[in-house]
Amino acid sequence: MLKPPIELLAKDLNGHGGVFCPNPKADMALWNSHPKVYLDVAHTGHAKCPYCSTEYKLKDGEHVSAH
């Protein structure tokens, strides 16, 4: 069963426009976590984790301001 993408607000992104996976929003338990990886969400509006295939996307209407 496919999980829907984790929707993020612009304020959920770090100063570089990304998130780390595993992420608390992904509701991953400690036993099934993997090494922490940085995912650039701001560039395209979405990203997919290479370890667990969790998808993260900016919520519709959210905009990331340039830093």
Structural domain boundaries in the chain: 6-58
pLDDT 10s digits, 4-22: 999 999 999 999 999 999 9
Q: What is the pLDDT of residue 3?
A: 82
Residue 21: phi and psi, rounded to 5, are -120, 135
The answer on pLDDT for 28 being more than 90 is no
Q: What is the pLDDT of residue 66?
A: 60
pLDDT 10s digits, 44-64: 999 999 999 999 999 999 888
Long-range contacts (CB closer than 8 Å, 24 or more residues apart) made by 34-41: 40/16, 41/8, 41/13, 41/17
Q: In the structure encoding, which two tokens stand for residue 1, read together?
A: 């069963």
The answer on pLDDT for 32 being more than 90 is no
